[in-house]
Structure formats: structure tokens, C-alpha cells
Amino acid sequence: MRYNRLGNSGLRVSALGLGTNSFGTRADKAESKRILDLALDRGINFIDTANIYSSTASETIIGAALSGRRSEFVLATKAGLSRGEGPNSRGSSRFHIQQELEGSLKRLKTDYVDLYQIHTFDPDTPLEETLRALEDFVRAGKVRYIGASNYAAWELMKALGISDRLDLNRYVSTQTSYSLADRTPERELVPLCLDQGVGIIPYFPLAGGILTGKYGIDGTAPEGSRALTNPNFTRFFGEHNLALGRSVAALAQQLDCTASVLSLAWLMQQPAVATTIVGATSAEQLESNMQSVAVELSADTLAELDQLSRPFRNGEPFALYRLT
């Protein structure tokens, strides 16, 4: 396994991280534990979850499965998206994130979180309030590092500026949708992160499965895929997305690897990317995707992938989670 610094921090994270939003839904408790055990045994130390994944079941499963192995991994969770209908059940106010952090710690059966991330920008809460609350969490020993997620470049830069002005801990990372099917972060976010020393943690690195080549020419989905368990996902099945998936799969076949491995390997070689979180519904799926860590793409292959995916630098992000 390769390990990278998370932004300018001293924390080193595995080049491939494990996303766990399927735990408790598409992966039951037993299979989730198999996936976690395999990840740790193969050197994956970055485990990413959130308070809303599978209605808190993801955190609960992780807490039970990793009992006694806490020191072996970097645990990241998030708060900020809606957890209910109450007036303070979402956002990044001190009230909400302190309440959610305590809940996450209990479910995860730990005294601290290595990386606590604000799940999305909250336009109704002053950034100073959020950042001072996060500073208090760090000083209390309940959080080691802080990160952002789904922030626009200007929002992230504003947060970094406030932290510098008030001498507060800075965001060391930001999560964003980033893949061959979504290169929009390259317009503003990537240059900002390179300049400011913020690590990028891509989510949806396989565009929800489109870059695996598993969807048919008409969007036909195989058994157990995200499109069947979440029919709303088919909104991403535009012909341009499916065509890209087929092109990547064809190139992967020439290189004697899977489309998933090729897509992940490309992302790992992009500037500012610290760890790429990939989900899994089975240990076998994770085992297959781990081959991407050992793949070094040639200049010619990188150029071809750049050409195939260049149109995806423009337009709207593949996915973006905001408060509405």
C-alpha cells in the first residue's frame, strides 16, 4: 500500500481509502465486517463514514467491527446534512455539530475521530462559529484533524482565511465528487488545494459504477448495482456518461485490467489527491479494486484518458450535496 500526506498535515493515509455508505444497506453487518477486516489486513488505513450513512447504521457497524483495533486506522466521519425535521437537525452550527459528534463517538465506540468533516457548506451559520466549535473539539481531544466536504472553492478559501486570521486549526482536506466523469474540480478547487496545502479526497471515483463498464449500452443494470437499489441513480445515465464508461472499459481491456482499476489509478495520479475513497458491497469487490494501487499509468495512457474525459471538465458536477 502507498501512503500520502493528508494535505500539509503530518497524517499519512492510504492511497486507497474505504467508503462505507453501503454498510447497513447494500452490505449487511457480516459482509461489512469482512470488508473492513480485508481493508485493514491489506494496508488500507483510511475509513470514511458519516452520521447519515444508512441512517447511522454505518457508524454502528464500524464501531462494533473495529473494536480492539482502533490504533490501526484513520477514522473519518462527517456531520452537517439533515438528520431530521427539527429546526437544529442540520447544518454546521455549534449546537448541531457538537450534538452530532457526541452521537458519532458513541456509535463508533471511540473517544476521538481522526478526521471530522463538515458535510456541506451551511449558508445560515457564520463560518467563524463552525470553525471555533471545531477548534474546541480539537482542544478537547475528541477530534484530531478537520476537513470540509462539498465546499465550493470560494467557500473553502474563505474558511481557510478565517482560520488563519483567528489562529484556528485549518481544514486539512476537502471531499468532492471527482472522477474521469467529473473533472469540474480541476477548474478552481484543485489549484486552490495545491496552493493552500489541502488534500483532496474524491468521492464517487467510479461515478457510481458508470466507470466500471458494468452498465449496458441502454443503461441496463446488473443485479445488486446501485441503479437497482437506488432507482433515482438512473438520472446519471446520460448517453455521454455511458459512452465514457464504454470507452474507459475498452482501453482497460487493452491494458489487461478492469475499467474500475484504470479509473482509480488515474485518479490516484492527479495532483492534490491524498486518498481516493471507494465503496464496496463485498470483500471480493474491494480486493479487485485494490489492484489500482500498484498500477502506474504511462504518459500515453494518461494522455488518452485526458482526451476521453476532457469534456467532463465543463458543465455541472456529477454529484453535489447541499443544504436546501
C-alpha cell at position 70:
482502533
Encode 240-257: b = buried (16+ Cβ within 10 Å), e = exposed.
ebbebbebbbebbeeeeb
> 159 to each of 98, 126, 134, 147, how far by Cα in Å?
19, 10, 12, 11
Query: Residue 54: in which H helix or E strand, if any?
Result: none
C-alpha cell at position 151:
465546499
Query: Residue 117: in which H helix or E strand, if any?
Result: strand 113-118
C-alpha cell at position 311:
469534456
Distance, in Å, from the CA atom of 141 to the CA atom of 288, rounded to the nearest integer, reads: 37
Nearest to 13 by CA among 23, 2, 24, 25: 2
Whether residue 116 lies in the annotated active site: no
Residue 156: Cβ within 10 Å count: 21
Distance, in Å, from the CA atom of 212 to the CA atom of 82, rounded to the nearest integer, reads: 30
> Can you give the C-alpha Rg of the chain in angstroms?
19
**Which of these is catalytic: 3, 53, 145, 151?**
53
Distance, in Å, from the CA atom of 73 to the CA atom of 75, rounded to the nearest integer, reads: 6
Give bridge partners of residue 273 from the DSSP assignment. Answer: 200
Residues designated catalytic = 53
